[in-house]
Amino acid sequence: MDRAEGRRAGTAPALFWLLLCLMAPLAACAPAARLASPPVVVAPQVTAAGITTRDGTVLPTQSWLPADGPPKAVILALHGFNDYANAYDAPGRWWAEHGVATYAYDQRGFGRNPRSGVWAGGDVMVRDMWDAAAALHDRYPDTPLFLTGESMGAAVLLTALAGHDLPAGFRGAILTAPAVWSRATMPFYQSWALALANWTVPWLTVTAPRGLIHVQASDNIPMMIALGRDPLVVKATRVDALKGLTDLMDAAMAATATFHVPSLVMYGQHEELIPREPMRQALARLPDQSQGGPRIAFYPTAWHMMLRDLNAEIVWRDILAWVTDPAAPLPSGMDTNPEIATLLAEGRTS
């Protein structure tokens, strides 16, 4: 067992810990929470306050714009689970220095939104993405629009774009460490424990005791410490939010087979949050690039949070190159990594 597999094996006790939580005396059970959506009232738009969606909700937004003229491309960025738009601060600043604008918003239920930590619903998150893309196209009608998502954000893009018409102005999608850990690839006790918890205590917030789960998201330890101290990062996760995320990952895995979208899919050798088996299956299910499927890049030094790793600039540079010319080879050469063929072969036989 290698180091990464050993860490992933440490996730199993977390499910037993969750079951212990269910055994605690409960005074009452509340229904699962979900953010209600108001009726349609406005056209999506970018304002000083953020991105306004069709129902009038203003999603807090951060942007990084070139200082010396209009952008040559615009990237709409979707963050991961329990995170918020600031996840794109470092790459956004770097891309802006190279002429590309980046807009990232706090997805509904996260960051600076009201009731942060309450799951909004995968369908609502998909709709918000469409609204944000439309708003940015209205602001930059003649500029190529690219969508990128990290982990949960990539799952939203997979679900939204597979088998559907593409947003106006859209030129491509970049998926970093897509969250595709579907129920079909989970141990039975994990999906069973989640179903039981969601049925009995959907409102319960869970945090793994220190030392119980040995999973590392990045080699950038100062960045990880800063996230732990950031009040806008959700620390205690509701059970119904975990269930909602799992539903979204189910949909994302299902979407891989029909993802005929100009795109770049990026994973790292040190991925520990998404187990290797669902990652291999997802890559194997994607349409071949010759059939309109994505280009795949695999990084031997990258972790789950590859955009914030110590070697993140390798990934930033590849994304910039792909946005500039999607047909050109990546500067890192990681789109020709021999390990990709191994992963695809393993995924097709699993």
Tell me what the mean pLDDT of segment 142-162 comes to: 98
170 pairs with which residues across the strands?
A: 145
Structural tokens at position 112: 């600076």
* Residue 292 CB neighbours (<10 A): 12
User: Would you state the pLDDT for residue 34?
Assistant: 57
Q: Are 158 and 175 in contact (CB under 8 A)?
A: yes
Residue 6 has pLDDT above 80, yes or no: no
Residue 92 has pLDDT above 90, yes or no: yes
263: left (phi over 0), alpha (psi -120 to 50) or beta: beta
Q: DSSP per residue over 79-146, as a string?
A: --TT--GGGGHHHHHHHHHTTEEEEEE--TTSTTSTTTTS---HHHHHHHHHHHHHHHHHHSTTS-EE
- Tens of pLDDT, residues 123-139: 999 999 999 999 999 99
147 in Cβ contact with 104 (< 8 Å): no
Q: Is the per-residue pLDDT at 30 higher than 50?
A: no
Q: How far apart are CA 124 and CA 118, in angstroms?
A: 13
Q: What is the pLDDT of residues 58-84, one digit of tens each?
A: 999 999 999 999 999 999 999 999 999
Dihedral angle, C-alpha 304, 307, 310, 314, nearest 10 °:
110
User: How much is the average pLDDT of 274-298?
Assistant: 92
Reported as a pLDDT band with limits 50, 70 and 90, residue 349 is: confident
pLDDT tens, position by position, 198-228? 899 989 888 866 655 678 999 999 999 999 9
Burial class (CB in 10 A: 0-12, 13-18, 19+), 211: exposed
Q: Which CATH architecture has domain 5-9+34-349?
A: 3-Layer(aba) Sandwich (3.40)
Torsion over CA: 279, 284, 286, 292 (sign): positive
pLDDT at 22: 41
Q: What is the DSSP string of 218-238?
A: -S-HHHHHHHHH-TTS--SEE
- Domain locations in the chain as residue ranges: 5-9+34-349
Torsion angle in degrees (nearest 10) through CA of 92, 96, 97, 99: 140
Phi first, then psi: give them for residue 153, nearest 5 degrees: -60, -40
The pTM assigned to this predicted structure is: 0.88
259 contacts 286 by C-beta, under 8 angstroms: yes
Which of 292, 284, 322, 330 has its CA nearest to residue 180? 284
